[in-house]
Structure 1
Amino acid sequence: MAIHFERDDEGIVTLTMDMSGSANVMNAEYHRDMGEAVAKLEAARDDITGVVLTSAKKTFFAGGDLNLLIQITPENALESLGFLEEVKGQLRRLEQLGKPVVAAINGSALGGGFEIALACHHRVVLDDDKIKIGLPEATLGLLPGGGGVTRMVRLLGVQPALPLLMEGKQLRPARALQAGLVHSLASSREDLIAQARAWIKENPAPQQPWDKPGYVVPDVRFGDPNMYGLLAAAPAVLRKKTHGVYPAPEKVLAAAVEGALVDFDTALRIETRYFVELASGQVSKNMINTFWFQLNEIGAGKSRPAGVPASKVSKVGVLGAGMMGAGIAEVSAKAGIEVVLKDVTLEGARRGAGDTPGITPTDSDADLAGCDLIVEAVFENRELKNKVLPAAESAALPDAVIASNTSTLPITGLASAVGDPSRFVGLHFFSPVPKMRLVEIIRGAETSDETLARAFDYVLQIGKTPIVVNDSRGFYTSRTFGTYVTEAVSMVAEGVAPALIENVARRAGMAVGPLAVSDEVTLTLQLKIRDQTLADDPSASGALADHPAFRVLEELVGEGRTGKSGGAGFYEYPSEGRKFLWPGLARYVRADAGVTERDVEDRLLFVQSLETVRCLDEGVLTSVGDANVGSVFGFGFAPWSGGTLQFVNSYGLAEFVERADYLADTYGERFRPPASLRERATRNTPF
């Protein structure tokens, strides 16, 4: 049995969940054994005084089995609906047992795990900051379908529950107590069980609040005029955030409000139907595939060289105390690594270090002694990097990994500046470093397996997500992201209204509009990258020199509009108030531009997916998971799509190729599908 049933001399039954596998999940095994446990409790009702529900695993309960959920389709939806209603029925019988039921939460309780806890009359959680409590289903395109929406609304009220449900927030124990999700904290496992037993003895016949006569949801009452303002405004506010491409938050809102207006059991049925609708849809499959399966594969080291022992960095030297270097130093120090932050001047190094403990600011290479990792984060200039790298290498440990945070310059070329190119690797962080979770690891032509593995381990050590790519100009993320920005500026040159470009991009789910992000990275940097490309590869001159996007950038920079840091770019940045598109861009707009909104959207999304396919063809990318995770976490590709390659899959390979050919015929050969993609479409072989 995966749920152990133990009754003591005082009549208290302890149900200990211990499913086969590393974690407790809501699958057929759980369904069978929980059903038997509840039936046994009902049969022994007169001989028991209460129930403690806990776990033998490190976590309390991991949630639904996503291997099963991803298989739900419109064709088998009825069967899935029946299974879910049976699972919820078991929890309903548990909370209506007539005896006190306490959840003794000894580890994280997320999703279905917290839904089980919500069906208990009392919840005690171990006070450990590693533990997370919450219902994160919306982050995977789903809603809590095991009673989570229905119970949370009745526990907290609609308005307090909605942010937790729609945003999938995960709370540490103290915060969960403050939010009213749990009733008390325990100092140890022994205290956890002791509190659970004590509560049972003090509350022999509890009822859930929603089962008490006359109960109504706190902030939803028929005829209450205050309620109508919420109901009228909420969908509009939500649509402004989701742009209609994320169905899960919209269904959460519907299930919460509709469920609040009916009795409890009807609310459960409403919740179930919305859940199955989401689970059988494409968006949840996209998000589960990338943000669960592929992300877990990355964390488990799928792209890490096998056979290399695990390692940890003890002391890291960061070269350059600008925004990127300071950020790398901060996240390293907060992970418990000793950090030396070097800049041209001690004042600059101190400014970059700020007040973060564990960072030693310096202007001397000698202080890099003992470093087992060097991360160069100076300006994107080959000569400067070639100057600082050898000096740092000579000061660090003889076997130290030497890394560059370059975003575009090929690693193999930079490696020539150090004595041992096998110890050289690219570590491309994203701005702002403390917030962005991705690090792109770039393997140069001579980078050894040991160096790559040590770099991979360091990225995990600082709590980031690593993807591994092979060397190329711009690697994967910068190269692909560059197509997004360049395509948008090309449309400006063609006469498309800038506001239309920005609004369509956000509506498509991109994190930031391409013109806004162009300002963020600066227009001058884009021109410098072009110039460096031309210097390194004169054969690219034809495509770059006459590119309409660069003509627009040159004109704006020539007028002093260099981007956000310069105070003006595609946008105006007033000292007070929000930024807005520069009215002077009207000179580019043409009434006869002839680019439809659908074409604007597809050009922005397709150009990135097609570049990703080329990166895969060229061996820059070696993993579909790295492509998808890298695109979402690295440059904000529409998360609902699951990433650049999953977007192709969900669009349909044959349909994608046909649409890409139309875009190529209409707007240029950059949209022409590679032969590999045509072959995939012919065979119908998704990525």
Structure 2
Amino acid sequence: MSAIQFEKNADNIVILTLDSPNQSANTMNADFRTALAETVEKLQADENIAGIIFRSNKKTFFAGGDLDELIQATPEHATEFFNMIEDMKAKLRYIETRGIPVAAALNGTALGGGWELAIGCHYRVALNDAKAKFGLPEVTLGLLPGGGGIVRMVRLLGLQNAFPFLMEGKQFAVDKAESLGLIHDTAESEQELLDKAIAWVKANPKSQQPFDVKGYKIPGGTPSTPAVAQMLAIAPAMLRDKTKGCYPAPEAIMAAAVEGAQVDVDTALTIESRYFTYLATGQISKNMIGTFWHGLNAIKSGASRPKDVAKWQATKVGILGAGMMGAGIAYATASKGIAVVLKDVSVEAAEKGKAYSQKLLDKKVSQGRLSAEKRDQILSLIHATADAADLQGCDLIIEAVFENQELKAKVTQEAEPHLTAEGIFASNTSTLPISGLANASNDQAKFIGLHFFSPVDKMQLVEIIKGKNTSAETLAKAYDYVQQIGKTPIVVNDSRGFFTSRVFGTFVQEGLRLLAEGVHPARIEMAALKAGMPVGPLAIQDEVSLTLSEHVANETRKALQAEGKDLLRSGADDVIQTMIHEFGRKGKAAGAGFYDYPEGGKKHLWDGLSKWQKDNDISEQEMIDRFLFVQSLDTLRCLEEGVLESTVDGNVGSIFGIGFAPWTGGALQFLNQYGLEKALVRANTLEAKYGERFKAPQLLKDKIGKAELI
């Protein structure tokens, strides 16, 4: 069966129905390209055609490029790839410029190549579906819209207005598309959709794109227009400040847009194809497609979930502790329509936690993103209380109290009897071993860790930690709950710090070690940003609070001593000690840490850090390598030790949990794309210079020996 069904009606209008065989969505794959070639041949052979309508036989209009295919493109294939893209675009351009009306009947979402196909038509009518999304998200995968998206969006909207959709990948709904003039009409049913498209074709027997009309001017002007030229004089520097040079895609998009705006449409399309080929055959797009597309899709489909357990839904969730974490979990849960019991030591404390949800929801109402009725409905699902009896009938209880084993044991024993017979209990600890906390439980098989990240309303990841006695059924229920509230689950085995807290600690500590070695703090922060980390280690340490880090280190030291082991002190420990006990600087919440936080002013590095400054000519690249290798090697150790069970969880967890440089595709993919043999050599060099934390795990050597990727 062809991916494009060709039908000519009694009015001589050709209706092209997109229906990719063997796929649930339409994509620009080999089937589509073959079908497009056959379609254009038929169109060229028939002069008696009144118009063309694109429609879809799938639930959505068109999903975009075939990422399975794109990830295979290598630099050796660049010429062949470029020619393939140019050939496909030439065929679409033939349809666009034939002189007859071309309409798109959008029955649902059209993203990436799907939106490019739509804006290659002269007229667009969309089903009035609030769930439908349009746009060009390619930049989020290290790519650019290579099917004409840059050229046409710039010509329809103007450079400045098109940039957010191109360089940030902003998606938009039907109403926004209408207000931008990108959707011309809407319909309430699929029949009306087709009827409106046909009616428009009949009413416009001669049609062309507005930008193909002689004398058309790009809205806002070309790059030589004074106002646009002024914007473009600073735009590259602003973009570079944002990307720190780690992401070639936004820079390529800007270049293709600006260069393309100075030439004719066909030349602009070729410029776009060249930049697309450069990105598609490069390594960074492969890193990002591998994790942000294939990896996340594997997790969504339950890659780490026990397969033989029936799907489950939480109906009533108890949350112990209404501080920042507990309040955030309550909001995330109630927002998905699940009843919540938010318990604290007093009703006042519990109500304060509920007020956090009120604040977030009020903001959404004020922005027009939520109705007041919906806000009140969500708030009515949160019951603030100090009475444990109110937890009766919960099928999931999550404790989110302070990181203290005795306190956690106490609240567990108080709350557990109120669970339903099949209910499960979870701890939101960030460092304490789950198997130890499970000792307070009546049924360790039903005890699990659910490590949320702060702020919960913004952070997508939840780290699910299996204790040594956690059952497969409990794991499946935890996985289902995390997905039920719209979060991304990764599954790890129990150990101190689990995966994310443990590896996150190596990043922060490396920054503190560099400070102790005499490196200027501004150089440390900049090197981390240039590595691709979202925030520098000193700024992050302030957010976490120095006192919490000291508390965790002390608790870890005590626990290890009880096991007959010891935690050696490092330069990082000395810096923390000095900052807290000598200078009284405990972090952002206390108003003073590695940074000063002037009221109403911008934070800046504290000048007292000069205490550690001395001559150190370490290169920026050496610091970047230290930041990336210390985390990736420890992530590999987590895989080797069985803390992590899969590479996918390691890559997704490292990016979404600890902010590991997204351009790498994750901490394990960083080693793959660096080249495992080269990574081993670099690790050995770093170990010789800086110590055992850079020692290459045996697993790295094993993978090299088997010629396998991690």
Partner of residue 504, structure 2: 481
Moved more, 187-196 or 347-356: 187-196
Shift of 1:657: 1.0
Residue 639 (structure 1) shift: 0.3
Alignment correspondent of 2:312: 311
Q: Give runs of aligned pairs for residues 64-213 of structure 1, distance below 5 A.
A: 64-213=65-214
Q: Which residue of 2 aligns with 1:353?
A: 354
Q: In the TM superposition, what are the counterparts of 1:264-343 in structure 2 within 5 Å?
A: 264-343=265-344
Q: Which residue of 2 aligns with 1:556?
A: 579
Alignment-mate amino acid for residue 338 of structure 1 = A
For 1:302 and 1:634, the matched residues in 2 are separated by: 18
Q: Hey, what's the Cα distance between the residues in 1 that align with 2:525 and 2:158?
A: 37
Instruction: Compare 257-266 and 103-112 and name the one that shifted more.
Output: 103-112
Q: 2:536 aligns with which of 499, 513, 517?
A: 513
1:33 aligns with 2:57: no
Per-residue deviation, 1:375: 1.0
In structure 1, stretches of 5+ residues that fail to align are: none
Matched, 1:571 2:595: yes
Whole-angstrom CA distance in 2 between matches of 1:396 and 1:85: 62
Tell me the SS of whatever aligns to 1:621.
coil
Letter in 2 for 1:28: A
Q: Which residue among 633, 642, 646 is the counterpart of 1:623? A: 646
User: What is the aligned counterpart of 1:378 among 389, 401, 410?
Assistant: 401
Partner of 2:449: 426
Deviation at 1:34, TM superposition (A): 1.7
Distance 2:184 2:407 in 1: 58
The Cα offsets for residues 454-474 of structure 1, whole Å up to 9 and x where unpaired, read as 110111111111100111111
Q: 1:392 aligns with which of 405, 412, 415?
A: 415
In 2: Cα distance, 1:71 partner to 1:196 partner: 37
* Alpha-carbon distance in 2 for matches of 1:223, 1:110: 31
Matched residue SS, 1:399: strand
Q: 1:223 to 1:525 in 2, by over 3 A?
A: closer
The CA deviation at 1:18 is 0.7
Distance in 1 (CA, whole Å) between partners of 2:63 and 2:185 is: 21
Distance 1:542 1:557, change over 3 A: farther
- Residue number in structure 1 paired with 2:363: none
How far apart are the structure 1 equivalents of 2:492 and 2:509? 22
Q: Could you say what secondary structure the match of 1:237 adopts?
A: helix
The corresponding residue for 1:580 is: 604
| 8 Å Cα contact 1:424-1:447 kept in structure 2 | yes
What residue is the counterpart of 1:24 in the other structure? 26
State the shift of 1:176 in Å: 2.3
Q: Distance in 2 between matches of 1:379 and 1:222?
A: 56
How far the C-alpha of 1:218 sits from its partner, in A, is 2.2
> Which sections of structure 2, spanning at least 5 residues, go unmatched?
359-377
Output the amino acid matched with 2:240.
Answer: R
Normalised by the length of structure 2, the TM-score is: 0.94
> Residues 519-560 of structure 1: CA distance to partner in whole angstroms, max 9, x if unpaired?
111111111111111221117898645222111111111232
Which range moved further: 559-568 or 33-42? 33-42
Output one character per residue of 1:32-84: Cα deviation in whole Å (capped at 9) or x when no partner. 112222332333342x3322211111121111111111111111111111111
CA deviation after TM superposition for structure 1 residue 651, in Å: 0.9
Tell me the equivalent position of 1:468: 491
Letter of the 1:402 counterpart: F
Over residues 236-260 of structure 1, what are the superposed CA-to-partner deviations in whole Å (9 max), with x where a residue is unaligned? 1110000111000000000000000
| Alpha-carbon separation, structure 1, partners of 2:224 and 2:440 | 75
CA–CA separation in structure 2 for the residues paired with 1:383 and 1:508: 40
Q: In the superposition, relative to structure 1, how do residues 439 and 309 fare at CA in structure 2: closer, same or farther (>3 Å)? A: same
Cα distance between partner residues in 1 of 2:128 and 2:317: 33
C-alpha distance in structure 2 between counterparts of 1:181 and 1:402, whole Å? 50
Instruction: State how many pairs are aligned.
Output: 685
Matched, 1:632 2:655: yes
Runs of 4+ in structure 1 off by over 6 angstroms are 539-542
Q: Is the 8 A contact 1:654 1:682 kept in 2?
A: no
Distance 2:227 2:528 in 1: 36
After TM superposition, give the deviation of residue 7 of structure 1 in Å.
2.5
For 1:432 and 1:79, the matched residues in 2 are separated by: 46
Determine helix, strand or coil for the equivalent of 2:435: helix
- 1:610 aligns with 633
Q: Give, as a single letter, the amino acid of the residue that structure 1 aligns with 2:32.
A: Y
What SS does structure 1 have at the residue aligned with 2:186? strand
Deviation string for 1:89-115 (max 9, x for gaps)?
121011113221111111211111111
Measure the CA separation in 2 of the matches of 1:71 and 1:636: 27
Partner of 1:663: 686
Contact 1:60 1:113 in 2 (8 A): yes
SS across alignment from 2:394? coil
The one-letter code matched in structure 1 to 2:291 is T
Q: Is the 8 A contact 2:557 2:566 kept in 1?
A: no
Give the aligned residue type for 2:284: V
- In terms of mean alpha carbon deviation, does 333-342 or 180-189 score higher? 180-189
SS at match of 2:652: helix
Q: Matched residues, percent identical? A: 55
Whole-angstrom CA distance in 2 between matches of 1:380 and 1:122: 59
CA distance in 2: counterparts of 1:682 and 1:499, whole angstroms: 41
Paired with 1:622 and 1:456, the residues of 2 have a C-alpha distance of 15
- Aligned counterparts of 1:670 and 1:62: Cα–Cα separation in 2: 44
SS of equivalent residue, structure 2 residue 76: coil
Give me the TM-score of the superposition, normalised by structure 1.
0.97
CA contact (8 A) 1:544 1:550 kept: no
